[in-house]
Homo-oligomer: A and B are copies of this chain.
Amino acid sequence: MKKGRLFIISGPSGAGKGTICDRVRAKTDSALSVSVTTRSPRPDEKEGKSYYFISREEFDAMVADDGFLEYADVFDNRYGTPKQPVIDALYAGRDVLLEIDVQGAMQVKANFPEGIFVFVLPPSPAVLRERIIARGTEGAEGIEQRLNEARREVEYLPEYDYVIVNDHIDEAVEQTLAILRAESLRMTSATAKALIEQYRKEEM
């Protein structure tokens, strides 16, 4: 059974990584990694959809048990990507998509360097500004903060394997699908070994 691969999709808020992940999942058998958090669910949030909601004690036990691919504290709450469900999906032959910010991605890279790191960028800084404004969720200060964040995140581009400039969403989804497809054809030592054995042993 061929193992799946872990795709880490990151990039600035407003780059469209959420939409890309949703549409790629809809077109493939890939799984989405669901984070755990210690914060309380919001009224519209369902257990296991946006997050798994766990207690502080459970979270700390998972940290002690090396149970995270990455985790972070945001204000008084903790957020993390549990390792085991990802490993299980990969061994079941499914690709896993992990949508995560750059800081989280760099932690995943340290813990799981065989992941495939994809950076999603808006076509230009100006378009990023427009998109953040169009969302209407940020005031002037929030907009500047997100743009500064984007500037800092872009500095991590060299750490990534692929870059998608999300100008048109359909194109960006197709590009992401091409990356998943190509990576499924990548030579690994296990693949090479199995094929060589086949040609050494099999009647020709």
Contact = CB atoms under 8 A, between A and B. Distances in A.
Interface of A: 119, 121, 124-126, 128-129, 147, 150-151, 154-155, 157-158, 160-164, 174-175, 177-179, 181-183, 185-187, 189, 191-192, 195-196, 198-200, 202-204
Contact of A202 (B124, B185, B192, B202): B124
Contacts of A198: 124-125
Given A163-B185, A181-B182, 19 more contacts: A124-B202, A125-B202, A125-B203, A128-B204, A147-B204, A150-B199, A151-B199, A151-B200, A157-B187, A158-B189, A160-B187, A160-B192, A162-B182, A162-B186, A163-B195, A164-B185, A175-B185, A178-B178, A182-B183
B202 A126 contact: yes
A155 B196 contact: yes
Contacts of A187: 119, 157-158, 160-163
Nearest to A147: B204
A181 B185 contact: no
A174 B184 CA distance: 13
Contacts of A196: 154-155, 157
Given A198-B125, A204-B147, A179 B185 contact: yes
Contact of A186 (B126, B155, B161, B185): B161
Contacts of A204: 125-126, 128-129, 147, 150-151
B175 A125 contact: no
Contacts of A157: 187, 191-192, 195-196
The 3 closest A-B pairs by CB, nearest first: A182-B182, A178-B181, A125-B204
B155 A195 contact: no
